[in-house]
Protein backbone atom coordinates (compact mmCIF):
# COMPACT_ATOMS: atom_id res chain seq x y z
CA UNK A 1 0.00 0.00 0.00
CA UNK A 2 1.22 3.45 -0.82
CA UNK A 3 -0.48 5.96 1.46
CA UNK A 4 1.88 8.91 1.07
CA UNK A 5 1.55 11.64 -1.55
CA UNK A 6 3.97 14.46 -2.31
CA UNK A 7 7.71 14.93 -2.14
CA UNK A 8 8.09 18.24 -0.33
CA UNK A 9 4.67 18.58 1.26
CA UNK A 10 3.86 14.98 2.12
CA UNK A 11 0.53 13.65 3.28
CA UNK A 12 0.14 10.13 4.66
CA UNK A 13 -3.44 8.99 5.17
CA UNK A 14 -4.66 6.13 7.33
CA UNK A 15 -7.86 4.43 8.32
CA UNK A 16 -10.54 2.02 7.22
CA UNK A 17 -14.25 2.77 7.00
CA UNK A 18 -15.22 0.78 10.09
CA UNK A 19 -12.00 0.98 12.12
CA UNK A 20 -11.25 3.29 15.03
CA UNK A 21 -10.22 6.44 13.17
CA UNK A 22 -9.40 7.88 9.80
CA UNK A 23 -6.91 10.68 9.37
CA UNK A 24 -3.63 11.92 8.00
CA UNK A 25 -0.17 13.13 8.87
CA UNK A 26 0.98 16.16 6.90
CA UNK A 27 4.75 16.59 6.92
CA UNK A 28 6.87 19.34 5.42
CA UNK A 29 4.22 21.96 6.15
CA UNK A 30 5.78 25.40 6.67
CA UNK A 31 6.07 26.91 10.15
CA UNK A 32 4.35 30.01 11.43
CA UNK A 33 1.05 29.62 9.63
CA UNK A 34 -2.19 30.14 11.55
CA UNK A 35 -4.13 26.90 11.62
CA UNK A 36 -7.09 25.82 13.72
CA UNK A 37 -9.37 22.81 13.85
CA UNK A 38 -12.18 25.07 12.63
CA UNK A 39 -10.27 25.80 9.40
CA UNK A 40 -10.17 22.10 8.72
CA UNK A 41 -13.70 21.38 9.89
CA UNK A 42 -15.20 23.70 7.27
CA UNK A 43 -14.01 21.55 4.38
CA UNK A 44 -14.76 18.30 6.21
CA UNK A 45 -18.35 19.45 6.63
CA UNK A 46 -18.63 19.89 2.87
CA UNK A 47 -17.44 16.30 2.41
CA UNK A 48 -19.62 14.83 5.16
CA UNK A 49 -22.53 12.50 4.35
CA UNK A 50 -26.07 13.51 5.18
CA UNK A 51 -25.81 17.09 3.97
CA UNK A 52 -28.91 17.01 1.82
CA UNK A 53 -31.58 14.85 0.32
CA UNK A 54 -29.33 13.78 -2.53
CA UNK A 55 -26.53 12.38 -0.39
CA UNK A 56 -26.47 9.33 1.84
CA UNK A 57 -28.52 9.72 5.02
CA UNK A 58 -25.72 8.19 7.09
CA UNK A 59 -24.87 10.72 9.73
CA UNK A 60 -21.19 11.19 10.42
CA UNK A 61 -20.23 14.13 12.56
CA UNK A 62 -16.63 13.85 11.37
CA UNK A 63 -15.17 16.10 14.01
CA UNK A 64 -11.48 16.59 13.36
CA UNK A 65 -8.85 16.73 16.06
CA UNK A 66 -5.34 18.07 15.48
CA UNK A 67 -2.94 15.83 17.40
CA UNK A 68 0.37 17.57 16.71
CA UNK A 69 2.24 20.22 14.80
CA UNK A 70 0.29 23.26 15.99
CA UNK A 71 1.12 25.25 19.11
CA UNK A 72 -0.84 28.31 20.20
CA UNK A 73 -2.60 28.37 16.84
CA UNK A 74 0.62 28.43 14.80
CA UNK A 75 2.20 25.63 12.85
CA UNK A 76 5.61 24.54 14.12
CA UNK A 77 7.03 23.18 10.87
CA UNK A 78 6.58 19.69 12.35
CA UNK A 79 4.16 17.01 11.14
CA UNK A 80 0.51 17.86 11.63
CA UNK A 81 -1.56 14.81 12.55
CA UNK A 82 -5.32 14.87 12.01
CA UNK A 83 -7.71 12.25 13.34
CA UNK A 84 -11.44 11.79 12.95
CA UNK A 85 -13.08 9.02 14.95
CA UNK A 86 -15.40 6.70 13.09
CA UNK A 87 -18.89 6.65 14.53
CA UNK A 88 -19.58 3.45 12.71
CA UNK A 89 -16.98 1.10 14.16
CA UNK A 90 -17.74 -2.52 13.51
CA UNK A 91 -14.57 -4.51 13.97
CA UNK A 92 -15.32 -8.16 13.78
CA UNK A 93 -18.80 -7.73 12.37
CA UNK A 94 -18.44 -10.32 9.64
CA UNK A 95 -21.04 -9.80 7.00
CA UNK A 96 -22.65 -12.88 5.45
CA UNK A 97 -22.28 -11.15 2.09
CA UNK A 98 -18.50 -11.24 2.51
CA UNK A 99 -18.60 -14.44 0.46
CA UNK A 100 -19.76 -12.44 -2.55
CA UNK A 101 -17.40 -9.80 -3.89
CA UNK A 102 -19.47 -6.71 -4.66
CA UNK A 103 -19.40 -5.88 -8.40
CA UNK A 104 -17.16 -2.93 -9.34
CA UNK A 105 -16.06 -2.57 -5.72
CA UNK A 106 -12.55 -3.28 -4.50
CA UNK A 107 -13.38 -6.42 -2.50
CA UNK A 108 -12.12 -8.92 -5.05
CA UNK A 109 -8.97 -7.01 -6.01
CA UNK A 110 -8.01 -6.39 -2.36
CA UNK A 111 -8.50 -10.05 -1.56
CA UNK A 112 -6.32 -11.03 -4.51
CA UNK A 113 -3.64 -8.59 -3.43
CA UNK A 114 -3.58 -8.92 0.33
CA UNK A 115 -5.18 -12.30 0.94
CA UNK A 116 -7.49 -10.52 3.37
CA UNK A 117 -9.93 -7.65 3.32
CA UNK A 118 -11.70 -5.56 5.92
CA UNK A 119 -14.40 -7.62 7.62
CA UNK A 120 -17.06 -4.97 7.11
CA UNK A 121 -17.47 -1.88 4.98
CA UNK A 122 -15.12 -1.01 2.17
CA UNK A 123 -12.11 -0.80 4.49
CA UNK A 124 -9.40 1.27 2.97
CA UNK A 125 -11.14 1.39 -0.42
CA UNK A 126 -14.09 3.21 1.09
CA UNK A 127 -14.60 6.86 0.23
CA UNK A 128 -14.20 7.37 3.97
CA UNK A 129 -10.45 7.28 3.32
CA UNK A 130 -10.78 10.72 1.75
CA UNK A 131 -11.39 12.30 5.18
CA UNK A 132 -7.64 12.41 5.73
CA UNK A 133 -7.07 13.94 2.30
CA UNK A 134 -9.60 16.68 2.94
CA UNK A 135 -8.13 17.51 6.36
CA UNK A 136 -4.62 17.77 4.94
CA UNK A 137 -5.80 19.54 1.81
CA UNK A 138 -7.63 22.15 3.86
CA UNK A 139 -4.35 22.96 5.60
CA UNK A 140 -2.52 23.12 2.27
CA UNK A 141 -5.12 25.54 0.95
CA UNK A 142 -4.51 27.90 3.85
CA UNK A 143 -0.81 27.92 3.12
CA UNK A 144 -1.42 28.52 -0.59
CA UNK A 145 -3.91 31.29 0.01
CA UNK A 146 -1.93 33.09 2.69
CA UNK A 147 1.49 32.94 1.06
CA UNK A 148 0.60 33.09 -2.64
CA UNK A 149 -3.03 34.15 -2.95
CA UNK A 150 -3.84 30.90 -4.73
CA UNK A 151 -7.53 30.12 -4.89
CA UNK A 152 -8.98 26.69 -5.68
CA UNK A 153 -12.62 26.07 -6.57
CA UNK A 154 -14.18 22.87 -7.84
CA UNK A 155 -17.75 22.37 -8.95
CA UNK A 156 -19.99 19.82 -10.59
CA UNK A 157 -20.14 20.33 -14.34
CA UNK A 158 -22.12 17.26 -15.30
CA UNK A 159 -24.32 14.59 -13.77
CA UNK A 160 -25.38 11.71 -15.97
CA UNK A 161 -26.22 13.17 -19.35
CA UNK A 162 -26.87 16.68 -17.98
CA UNK A 163 -23.91 18.94 -18.65
CA UNK A 164 -23.77 22.54 -17.47
CA UNK A 165 -22.81 25.16 -20.06
CA UNK A 166 -19.07 25.77 -20.23
CA UNK A 167 -17.97 28.74 -18.16
CA UNK A 168 -15.66 30.93 -20.18
CA UNK A 169 -14.50 33.16 -17.41
CA UNK A 170 -13.96 31.72 -13.97
CA UNK A 171 -13.43 35.19 -12.54
CA UNK A 172 -16.48 35.57 -10.36
CA UNK A 173 -16.73 32.00 -9.13
CA UNK A 174 -16.76 31.46 -5.36
CA UNK A 175 -17.40 28.51 -3.07
CA UNK A 176 -20.44 30.35 -1.86
CA UNK A 177 -21.90 30.27 -5.35
CA UNK A 178 -20.98 26.61 -5.76
CA UNK A 179 -22.65 25.68 -2.46
CA UNK A 180 -25.90 27.47 -3.26
CA UNK A 181 -27.44 24.18 -4.31
CA UNK A 182 -26.87 20.65 -3.03
CA UNK A 183 -25.47 19.47 -6.37
CA UNK A 184 -22.68 22.07 -6.23
CA UNK A 185 -23.19 23.17 -9.82
CA UNK A 186 -22.92 26.95 -10.21
CA UNK A 187 -25.34 26.99 -13.15
CA UNK A 188 -28.69 27.12 -11.36
CA UNK A 189 -30.73 25.77 -14.23
CA UNK A 190 -28.47 22.75 -14.74
CA UNK A 191 -28.28 22.27 -11.00
CA UNK A 192 -32.03 21.95 -10.72
CA UNK A 193 -32.10 19.35 -13.50
CA UNK A 194 -29.22 17.46 -11.96
CA UNK A 195 -30.91 17.41 -8.57
CA UNK A 196 -34.08 16.05 -10.11
CA UNK A 197 -32.13 13.42 -11.99
CA UNK A 198 -30.29 12.28 -8.90
CA UNK A 199 -33.54 11.99 -6.96
CA UNK A 200 -35.15 9.99 -9.76
CA UNK A 201 -32.19 7.68 -10.00
CA UNK A 202 -32.15 7.25 -6.24
CA UNK A 203 -35.81 6.32 -6.21
CA UNK A 204 -35.04 3.73 -8.88
CA UNK A 205 -32.37 2.24 -6.65
CA UNK A 206 -29.76 3.18 -9.18
CA UNK A 207 -26.78 5.56 -9.31
CA UNK A 208 -25.13 7.86 -11.83
CA UNK A 209 -21.70 9.22 -12.64
CA UNK A 210 -20.68 12.82 -13.17
CA UNK A 211 -17.88 15.25 -13.89
CA UNK A 212 -16.15 17.79 -11.65
CA UNK A 213 -14.34 20.81 -13.05
CA UNK A 214 -11.64 22.40 -10.89
CA UNK A 215 -10.20 25.88 -11.27
CA UNK A 216 -6.97 27.09 -9.63
CA UNK A 217 -6.54 30.85 -9.89
CA UNK A 218 -3.49 33.02 -9.31
CA UNK A 219 -1.01 30.17 -9.33
CA UNK A 220 2.40 31.76 -9.91
CA UNK A 221 4.31 30.81 -13.05
CA UNK A 222 7.04 28.27 -12.45
CA UNK A 223 5.34 25.50 -10.49
CA UNK A 224 5.72 21.90 -11.65
CA UNK A 225 8.71 19.59 -11.91
CA UNK A 226 9.30 18.12 -15.36
CA UNK A 227 9.62 15.55 -16.56
CA UNK A 228 7.81 13.07 -14.29
CA UNK A 229 6.54 15.66 -11.87
CA UNK A 230 4.93 17.80 -14.55
CA UNK A 231 2.10 19.70 -12.94
CA UNK A 232 -0.58 18.03 -15.07
CA UNK A 233 0.97 14.61 -14.39
CA UNK A 234 0.82 15.11 -10.62
CA UNK A 235 -2.70 16.50 -10.85
CA UNK A 236 -3.67 13.46 -12.90
CA UNK A 237 -2.20 11.08 -10.35
CA UNK A 238 -3.85 12.97 -7.50
CA UNK A 239 -7.28 13.02 -9.14
CA UNK A 240 -7.18 9.46 -10.45
CA UNK A 241 -6.36 8.29 -6.92
CA UNK A 242 -9.77 9.53 -5.71
CA UNK A 243 -12.25 6.67 -5.39
CA UNK A 244 -14.44 6.28 -8.52
CA UNK A 245 -12.38 8.61 -10.74
CA UNK A 246 -12.20 7.32 -14.30
CA UNK A 247 -10.77 10.15 -16.38
CA UNK A 248 -8.73 13.33 -16.20
CA UNK A 249 -8.17 16.10 -18.69
CA UNK A 250 -6.26 19.36 -18.46
CA UNK A 251 -7.23 22.48 -20.41
CA UNK A 252 -8.55 21.54 -23.81
CA UNK A 253 -8.25 17.87 -22.84
CA UNK A 254 -9.64 15.19 -25.13
CA UNK A 255 -11.04 17.88 -27.38
CA UNK A 256 -7.44 18.82 -28.27
CA UNK A 257 -7.12 15.54 -30.13
CA UNK A 258 -9.38 16.80 -32.90
CA UNK A 259 -7.98 20.32 -33.10
CA UNK A 260 -5.38 21.86 -35.41
CA UNK A 261 -2.21 23.40 -34.07
CA UNK A 262 -3.09 26.74 -35.65
CA UNK A 263 -6.29 26.93 -33.61
CA UNK A 264 -4.98 25.27 -30.44
CA UNK A 265 -1.79 27.28 -29.89
CA UNK A 266 -2.06 29.92 -27.17
CA UNK A 267 -0.47 33.06 -28.62
CA UNK A 268 1.35 35.42 -26.28
CA UNK A 269 0.24 38.99 -25.64
CA UNK A 270 1.32 41.73 -23.28
CA UNK A 271 -0.43 41.20 -19.95
CA UNK A 272 -0.16 42.52 -16.39
CA UNK A 273 3.15 44.22 -17.07
CA UNK A 274 4.65 41.08 -18.54
CA UNK A 275 3.29 38.63 -21.03
CA UNK A 276 0.52 36.05 -20.90
CA UNK A 277 -1.55 34.06 -23.32
CA UNK A 278 -4.48 35.34 -25.34
CA UNK A 279 -6.35 32.03 -25.08
CA UNK A 280 -5.82 29.35 -22.44
CA UNK A 281 -6.26 26.00 -24.12
CA UNK A 282 -3.15 24.87 -22.23
CA UNK A 283 -5.13 25.12 -19.00
CA UNK A 284 -2.43 27.18 -17.32
CA UNK A 285 0.33 24.60 -17.76
CA UNK A 286 2.98 24.44 -20.49
CA UNK A 287 5.84 22.00 -20.57
CA UNK A 288 4.58 20.69 -17.24
CA UNK A 289 5.04 24.06 -15.54
CA UNK A 290 2.41 26.64 -14.55
CA UNK A 291 2.55 29.67 -16.84
CA UNK A 292 0.60 32.10 -14.68
CA UNK A 293 -2.75 31.58 -16.41
CA UNK A 294 -5.71 29.96 -14.66
CA UNK A 295 -5.31 26.22 -14.24
CA UNK A 296 -8.41 24.18 -14.95
CA UNK A 297 -9.06 20.50 -15.36
CA UNK A 298 -11.93 18.01 -15.34
CA UNK A 299 -12.32 14.70 -13.54
CA UNK A 300 -14.85 12.04 -14.57
CA UNK A 301 -16.44 9.85 -11.91
CA UNK A 302 -18.22 6.58 -12.51
CA UNK A 303 -21.63 5.81 -11.02
CA UNK A 304 -21.57 4.56 -7.41
CA UNK A 305 -21.06 0.81 -7.44
CA UNK A 306 -23.39 0.27 -4.50
CA UNK A 307 -26.92 0.24 -5.82
CA UNK A 308 -30.32 -0.48 -4.35
CA UNK A 309 -31.02 -3.34 -6.69
CA UNK A 310 -30.34 -7.03 -6.69
CA UNK A 311 -27.35 -8.08 -8.75
CA UNK A 312 -26.72 -11.53 -10.21
CA UNK A 313 -23.05 -12.12 -9.66
CA UNK A 314 -20.65 -14.91 -8.70
CA UNK A 315 -19.34 -15.56 -5.20
CA UNK A 316 -15.61 -16.22 -4.62
CA UNK A 317 -16.13 -19.87 -5.52
CA UNK A 318 -17.68 -19.00 -8.87
CA UNK A 319 -21.24 -19.92 -7.93
CA UNK A 320 -23.83 -17.48 -9.16
CA UNK A 321 -25.67 -15.71 -6.36
CA UNK A 322 -28.00 -12.80 -5.84
CA UNK A 323 -26.41 -9.85 -4.09
CA UNK A 324 -29.06 -8.05 -2.06
CA UNK A 325 -29.27 -4.28 -2.30
CA UNK A 326 -27.24 -2.49 0.37
CA UNK A 327 -28.72 0.73 1.66
CA UNK A 328 -27.63 4.22 2.40
CA UNK A 329 -25.17 5.22 -0.23
CA UNK A 330 -24.89 8.28 -2.42
CA UNK A 331 -26.71 7.86 -5.72
CA UNK A 332 -24.10 10.22 -7.18
CA UNK A 333 -20.68 10.90 -5.65
CA UNK A 334 -19.78 14.14 -7.36
CA UNK A 335 -21.41 16.70 -5.01
CA UNK A 336 -19.47 15.35 -2.03
CA UNK A 337 -16.33 14.76 -4.12
CA UNK A 338 -16.02 18.51 -4.78
CA UNK A 339 -13.98 19.22 -1.61
CA UNK A 340 -11.94 16.06 -2.23
CA UNK A 341 -10.92 17.33 -5.67
CA UNK A 342 -10.07 20.73 -4.19
CA UNK A 343 -8.02 19.09 -1.45
CA UNK A 344 -5.99 16.96 -3.80
CA UNK A 345 -5.36 20.01 -6.00
CA UNK A 346 -4.17 21.89 -2.93
CA UNK A 347 -1.84 19.08 -1.95
CA UNK A 348 -0.31 19.02 -5.44
CA UNK A 349 0.07 22.79 -5.60
CA UNK A 350 1.42 22.99 -2.05
CA UNK A 351 4.01 20.38 -2.93
CA UNK A 352 5.05 22.26 -6.05
CA UNK A 353 5.08 25.58 -4.19
CA UNK A 354 7.62 24.20 -1.75
CA UNK A 355 9.56 22.63 -4.56
CA UNK A 356 9.84 25.90 -6.38
CA UNK A 357 10.67 27.46 -3.03
CA UNK A 358 9.83 31.04 -3.81
CA UNK A 359 8.05 31.76 -0.56
CA UNK A 360 10.03 29.92 2.01
CA UNK A 361 12.82 32.39 1.53
CA UNK A 362 14.20 33.87 4.74
CA UNK A 363 11.62 35.53 6.93
| Contact positions with its own copies (CB under 8 A) in 123-162 | 123-125, 129, 147-148, 158, 160-161
DSSP state of 173: -
Site for its own copies in 234-253 (CB under 8 A): 234-241, 245-253
- Residue 166 burial (C-beta neighbours within 10 Å; 0-12, 13-18, 19+): exposed
| β pairing state of 10-14 and 70-71 | unpaired
Least distance from its own copies to the Cβ atom of residue 317, Å: 8
Identify the residue among 7, 51, 52, 97 touching its own copies (CB under 8 A).
Answer: 7
Determine if 275 is a binding residue for its own copies (CB under 8 A): yes
Could you say which of 42, 63, 68, 203 contacts its own copies (CB under 8 A)?
Answer: 68
Rounded Cα gap, residues 198 and 53, in angstroms: 10
Among 286, 295, 337, 342, interactor with its own copies by CB under 8 A: 286
Taking CB under 8 A as the criterion, the residue among 42, 57, 114, 188 binding its own copies is 114
Q: Does residue 322 touch its own copies according to CB under 8 A? A: no
Contact between 170 and its own copies per CB under 8 A: no
Neighbours of 337 (CB within 10 A): 27
Among 40, 134, 194, 233, binds its own copies (CB under 8 A): 233
Segment 22-61, which members bind its own copies (CB under 8 A)? Answer: 22-23, 25, 27-28, 30-32
As a whole number of angstroms, the distance between CA 62 and CA 86 comes to: 7
- Using rule CB under 8 A, residue 172 touches its own copies: no
Q: Residue 250 — φ and ψ, nearest 5°?
A: -105, 140
Our finding on whether 190 is near its own copies (CB under 8 A) is no
Q: Are 131 and 8 in contact (CB under 8 A)?
A: no
**Parallel, antiparallel, or unpaired: how do β-strands 21-27 and 80-85 relate?**
antiparallel
Amino acid sequence: MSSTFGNYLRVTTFGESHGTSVGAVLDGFPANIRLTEDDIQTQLNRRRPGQSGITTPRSEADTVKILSGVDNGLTLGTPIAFAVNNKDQRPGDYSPSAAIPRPSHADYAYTMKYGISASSGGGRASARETVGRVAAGAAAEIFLRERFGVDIIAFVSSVGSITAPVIDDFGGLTRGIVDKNPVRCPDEKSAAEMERLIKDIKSEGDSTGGVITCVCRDVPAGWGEPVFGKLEALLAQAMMSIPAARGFEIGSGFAAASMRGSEHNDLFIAKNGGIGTKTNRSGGIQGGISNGETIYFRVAFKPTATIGREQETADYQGNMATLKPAGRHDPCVVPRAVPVVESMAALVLGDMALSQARLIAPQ
